[in-house]
């Protein structure tokens, strides 16, 4: 009640700014899109991966349409996927995308690197956040960051909630910077 009376004495734009500032720390969580079959393309457009829900299989192809050539595949449907410019690497992400449950363990796999169908590396929450206090609290989850995808050098990048951009060697999953 005291806050309400104080806001009432402020100019409207100041009161609105104060209310917005209080709401920013806890952002609303949007539900994920329903699972569906989808296609992701390499940055150069020469390769694509079909993430097939009904088959529970992700297949990487060269070309498109009637001329497409199957290169390799892995079992599973992934909510997040990206294919490299040479078609050899597929990176998949966490099913919760950028949101972790409130009671996460730190062992949740945020990135899985596949090289022509073989898992070469997995990156967990703990790998990216040795100090979980760096995560940002939302209304009902912890936000960790966003998948940026492959850059011009064919390296995979994520942006953490701290503002840092982390770059990985997609062949090994090693952190470059």
Retrieve residue 92's tokens.
């998949």
pLDDT band at 31 (very low <50, low <70, confident <90, very high): confident
98-141 per-position pLDDT tens digit: 999 999 999 999 999 999 999 999 999 999 999 999 999 999 99
10-27 per-position pLDDT tens digit: 454 444 444 333 344 445
pLDDT band at 65 (very low <50, low <70, confident <90, very high): confident
Mean pLDDT across 86-91: 98
Retrieve residue 76's tokens.
């599973």
Which strand ranges, in their side-by-side order, compose the sheet holding 142-143? 99-100, 142-143, 136-137
| Distance, CA of 68 to CA of 74 (rounded, Å) | 18
- DSSP labels, 49-73: EEEETTTTEEEEEES-GGG-EEEEE
Q: Cα 36 vs. chain centroid, distance in angstroms?
A: 17
């Amino acid at each position: 009640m005291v806050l309400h009376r104080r806001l009432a004495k402020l100019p409207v734009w100041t009161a609105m700014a104060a209310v917005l500032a209080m709401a920013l720390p806890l952002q609303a969580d949007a539900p994920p899109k329903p699972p569906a079959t989808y296609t992701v393309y390499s940055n150069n457009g020469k390769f694509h991966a079909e993430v097939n829900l009904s088959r529970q299989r992700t297949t990487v192809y060269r070309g498109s349409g009637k001329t497409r050539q199957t290169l390799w595949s892995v079992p599973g449907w992934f909510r997040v996927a990206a294919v490299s410019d040479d078609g050899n690497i597929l990176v998949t992400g966490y099913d919760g995308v950028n949101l972790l449950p409130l009671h996460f363990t730190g062992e949740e796999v945020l990135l899985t690197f596949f090289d022509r169908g073989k898992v070469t590396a997995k990156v967990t929450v703990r790998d990216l956040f040795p100090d979980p206090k760096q995560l940002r609290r939302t209304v009902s989850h912890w936000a960790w960051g966003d998948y940026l995808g492959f850059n011009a050098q064919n390296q995979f990048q994520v942006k953490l909630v701290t503002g840092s951009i982390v770059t990985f060697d997609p062949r090994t999953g090693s952190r470059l910077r």
